[in-house]
Amino acid sequence: MKVYINKPLCTGCQHCKDVCPVAVFELRDREDVANINVDGAPVEMEWKNNPDSDMVAKWKDVQDGHNHFAEKNDETSGGISVGVNGEACILCQACLIQCEGECIHIIDDTETEYKSIYS
């Protein structure tokens, strides 16, 4: 599988990393641009210090124990998710239903695309 994130939409909630059974995701600090844009996301989904304003308005002040849109990851949340190990994905879809930003894209060998829908 290819697994990549639409970065401007990512809240940094870390749900993807927490639920993935095969360690596909890493959360990286938002200033670390060179190491964020490495999962093959299309250019319009790359991180350019460009958080989506609607997503920021929706999640920034939500108090649920996660630091939404925090610059740095503190091992519980913050930063931006990167699909660093897409080859390991078994398409269990756990991340797809847990992604606040609805920003995870998974492409299988037949080029079928799966996208996250927050539930």
Which residues of the chain form contacts with ligand SF4 (CB under 6 A)?
3, 5, 10-16, 19-22, 24, 81, 89-95, 98-101, 103-104, 106
Quote the tokens at residue 67.
């630091």
- Can you tell me the distance from the alpha carbon of 100 to that of 116, in angstroms, rounded to the nearest whole number? 9
Extract long-range pairs of 109-118: CB within 8 Å, 24+ residues apart.
109/1
Task: Give min distance, CB of 34 to ligand SF4, in A.
Answer: 19
Nearer to ligand SF4, 12 or 51 (CB): 12
Residue 43 or 85 with smaller CB distance to ligand SF4: 85
C-beta of 14 vs 37, nearer to ligand SF4:
14
Ramachandran region, residue 28 (left: φ > 0; alpha: ψ -120 to 50; beta: rest): beta
